[in-house]
Structure 1
Amino acid sequence: MRKFAKNNLIKEIILICAVIMSGFLITPNVQAMSNFIDGAHDVKVEHLDDMTTNNPAQNKAFAESLKNDGRNYSNWDAAGKPSRPDWTIAKGIVPGIQIKGIIGDAHFVMRIPDKWNGRLVVGAPGGTGSELSADQRLSDYILTKFDENGNSYAYAYTDKSARGEIIPTTQGQIKEAWRGRTAFLHPEDGIATWNKRMHELTVAAKDALKKLKGVGPKYTYINGQSNGGYVTRYALENDGGLYDGGIDWMGVLWTPEVNNISIKIDQYRDINIIRDPKATAVEKAAARAHYGLPEQSDFLIDKTIRGGKGLLDDSLRMKYDPEWKYRDWSEYGQHPEDYANYNWHNRPQKVKNNIKPFALTGNIKKPMITLHGTWDVQINPNYNSVYYSKMIAEKGKAAIHRLYLIDHAHHTDAIVGDPKVDKNHLMQPILPYSHQAFDMLVDWVEKGIEPPMNQTIPVPQDKQKAIDIKTGNEIDMY
């Protein structure tokens, strides 16, 4: 019998039924406050026979969630037809309580297995990803990591309030896919809100576990991707008491001096020089050195960054440096000429001070593993993760941090092997290494087994395999 569960099974069943009754929202359009999740509204609680995406209803909800995100892992056949790799498919059925709702303006999902191992994994996506966007790459994985008794992890994920609103453009058009552009239109919205929503979700998930299981989690891990990786970093710097460790998956750097605005505008300028037939060899070499990514990865620029026309979604610059150039949100990303003479580093100090309330310092309080692709043309690894690793070292925290650069990996695994993009199958996915990293983090935190030191993970000769970070050998991705 699990020591953290109530011994009386009947009492536990009664408790679950009571929770479901108190949590169900009968009228979805009414913002009813929850009696079960403090501070939440529009809450729906249900018991599912299977919470993984093997459940058709779960998989349908996941697929619909990608409309605003699009980043997902896929296999590709020679005809260019995508499919889900077998190794990412959940290898078991996980019944349990699923809770969906909204805290503030952030949507969340919680999944609590009937057979729980006493541990909790929380996280956030990058960009405008939904609370369901990591269902295949993370939720399925940790829900089916069964111990010898068949117990597995609880899971909670938030969209961090980054999806914005569906509002008409100035021409009266409705473009749902542009919701990310409207995320910062309200004065109270911003990157600092992401961290607040992550904190709120973690507290709420721990409280839900106490109510359902009679005790909170023994260990809590945070796992975030892209700007969700930033949220992981911030949480371990500022909310270390809530977590025991974290996975920072190609996180974004935010400091007053170097950040996602300055980096992308610098990249935009470098790429224009590299492509300019009038630029001298010396100018191109300097731009290439500053850009820092190999020429071999240039083919990814046109595919992943709006045809190479611009590297910045103006919503970030408009939010934190609005005095430079005003653009309506419906025009974001359409005027790269706005940045021909823009230099974040020369902007007034009051502009840079806008970043301070949510800036990273490198002073992490708990163990963290960072993963980043060496071909990530979207979130440059040198300025976002290598730079941050140096910040961590400067704070004397290198001993509790690991950085693994995944060679020939990009910001999204979805185009790995895509015959229209990765024609020669030069790329490799990050997802297998994210799973390895999570397992190593758990061993590090719970058993004191330190993972290997910082390194670059090479491309396996067999593209159906991955490299074992511990041994350097090629292994199956399963």
Structure 2
Amino acid sequence: MIRARLIAPALLFALTIPAAPAAAQTGGCPGVRVPGAERAVTSCLDDLTTAGTTRSGHTDPADWAGLVAPGTVTPSGVPGVQVDGYFPDTSTTNTNHGWQHDAQFVLRLPRDWNGGLVVAGPPGTREQYANDPIIADQVLAKGYAYAATDKGSTGAAPATPGQRPGASIAEWHRRVTQLTRAARATLTGHYGHAPTRTYAAGLSVGGYLVRWQLEHHPELYTGGVDWNALIFTPDTSLLTTLPPALRAYPAYADGDPAAHTALLTAGYPAGSEPAWAFSFRSLWTPLLHQVRTELDPAYTGEDSAYDLSARPRSVHRAIARISLTGRLTRPLISVQGSLDALTPPSRYAAAYTRLVADADRTRLHRTIAVPGGPHTDGLTPLAPDFRPVLPAFAAAFTKLEGWTQCRR
């Protein structure tokens, strides 16, 4: 899920990793060095999961609000070391720890390490703690080290005038890559050997980042799991799927059956209607503006009237620069809720499946459909037919482990 705030700009940065400054420490806990980090603060904790970090102040529950179904019980009781810090950056919208600094990250290093690493980017413009209950808790309980980034973009300002369209989204890619490289080096120094396997995982925008990483960096990853993943392609993105929803929803809310038909025709699945009012207010309207501002800042019309096919070639080039190709280099499992009203499966899951097939990479891709799954599990109270996706995501991760171990 993407928070209703705009994509923040940030400058390009090098992927080379300079020497790290001296690591800070808290409470006598030996400092852990994170190569390339401008700041790294180490804490030894009795429990690295949200059950412990919520009590100790080493997570931010507001960052994962709305992502977990009521009553969800997550694993707990994983002692180890947490490192909070940031990489060099010029933007200052992430206020965690009072640092006023973007490109923040969190690393969690369990005492009983299984030799693996899981890396995640957050949904939308949430921060580095967004995936704590839905991804971090699940993999920490298995013994994995965990690393997450804020992607360098957390603020409410639109793209900086004059910035190349799509630059903020391109930074998301680089920040995940940067953290993965730094985390692998950190684990090598902390445990005495490099991770034996590294997985990417993510929800929504985070799922898009999983796909992009697996398409571009076979040297870093063993495989990945995405969950209701967003996509950017020349033909499918929020720029193509949201305008019809914005045009039809007001009339649908007034009881117009033709508008209901228009939303179904646009791909929004029958049965997802209980999520439409929330989606229109908190997702569709702000998200279209955010993405349109980032990729087509010269557009001056109403967002609901946006027609990508009529926009200049420069806009299509901007989209092409951040588009997925389907050319997977490592195994990927995609988990897709059947009642997702932000990335409807008939548009998003189907489009990526076609890309993978066209790239002749079907052998590297599996899809798991979750009946009744909405975009995020926090939406499940809206309808009795909505079902949490988290159990399927956890099961998919276990399947990925087996799949990739068989390939070794």
Give the 3-state SS of the residue equivalent to 1:369 in structure 2: strand
- Report the equivalent of 1:427: 386
Shift of 1:302: 0.5
Give the 3-state SS of the residue equivalent to 2:268 in structure 1: coil
- Report the equivalent of 2:66: 71
Of 322, 336, 343 in structure 2, the residue corresponding to residue 358 of structure 1 is 322
Give the 3-state SS of the residue equivalent to 1:54 in structure 2: helix
Mean CA deviation greater in 431-440 or 303-312: 303-312
Shift of 1:322: 1.2
Give the 3-state SS of the residue equivalent to 2:305 in structure 1: coil
Structure 1 gaps, min length 5:
1-20, 27-33, 76-83, 146-151, 165-180, 326-336, 450-478
Of 146, 155, 168 in structure 2, the residue corresponding to residue 155 of structure 1 is 146
Shift of 1:323: 1.3
* Cα separation, 2, equivalents of 1:367 and 1:203: 19
Alpha-carbon spacing, 1:252–1:408, altered in 2? closer, same or farther (3 Å) = same
- Report the equivalent of 2:198: 220
Give the 3-state SS of the residue equivalent to 1:224 in structure 2: strand
Shift of 1:413: 0.6
Shift of 1:74: 3.1
Q: Check the 8 A contact 2:326/2:359 in 1, yes or no.
A: yes
- Report the equivalent of 1:406: 370
* Cα separation, 2, equivalents of 1:265 and 1:399: 34
> Cα deviation per residue 1:177-197 (whole Å; 9 max; x = unaligned)?
xxxx32634737510000000
* Cα separation, 2, equivalents of 1:246 and 1:292: 26
Q: How does 1:459-474 map to 2 (within 5 A)?
A: none
Give the 3-state SS of the residue equivalent to 1:223 in structure 2: strand
Structure 2 residue 285 is the aligned partner of structure 1 residue 310: yes
* Cα separation, 1, equivalents of 2:56 and 2:244: 39
Larger radius of gyration: 1
1:406 partner amino acid: V
- Report the equivalent of 1:182: 157
Identity of aligned residues (%): 29
* Cα separation, 1, equivalents of 2:293 and 2:203: 23
Q: Check the 8 A contact 2:69/2:378 in 1, yes or no.
A: yes
Shift of 1:52: 1.6
> Cα deviation per residue 1:159-190 (whole Å; 9 max; x = unaligned)?
112212xxxxxxxxxxxxxxxx3263473751
- Report the equivalent of 2:15: none
> Cα deviation per residue 1:301-354 (whole Å; 9 max; x = unaligned)?
1023307983644121112111111xxxxxxxxxxx813432112211111111
Q: Check the 8 A contact 2:49/2:75 in 1, yes or no.
A: no
- Report the equivalent of 1:123: 120
* Cα separation, 2, equivalents of 1:301 and 1:412: 13
- Report the equivalent of 1:45: 42
Alpha-carbon spacing, 1:278–1:200, altered in 2? closer, same or farther (3 Å) = closer
Taking structure 1 as the reference length, what is the TM-score of the superposition? 0.71
> Cα deviation per residue 1:257-278 (whole Å; 9 max; x = unaligned)?
3212222113323445656767
Alpha-carbon spacing, 1:122–1:70, altered in 2? closer, same or farther (3 Å) = same
* Cα separation, 2, equivalents of 1:123 and 1:72: 15
1:94 partner amino acid: V
Structure 2 residue 76 is the aligned partner of structure 1 residue 101: no
Q: Check the 8 A contact 1:271/1:291 in 2, yes or no.
A: no
1:23 partner amino acid: A
Q: How does 1:37-436 map to 2 (within 5 A)?
A: 37-55=34-52, 57=54, 60-66=57-63, 70-75=65-70, 84-86=71-73, 88-90=74-76, 93-103=77-87, 104=89, 105-145=102-142, 152-164=143-155, 181-182=156-157, 184-185=159-160, 187=163, 189-271=167-249, 285=261, 287-306=262-281, 310=285, 312-325=287-300, 338-416=302-380, 418=381, 421-422=382-383, 425-436=384-395
* Cα separation, 2, equivalents of 1:50 and 1:312: 35
2:67 partner amino acid: N
> Cα deviation per residue 1:406-430 (whole Å; 9 max; x = unaligned)?
12111111131x2xx32xx211010
Aligned length: 369
RCO (CA 8 Å, sep 6+): is it higher in 1 or 2? 2
Q: CA RMSD in A?
A: 2.7
- Report the equivalent of 2:6: none
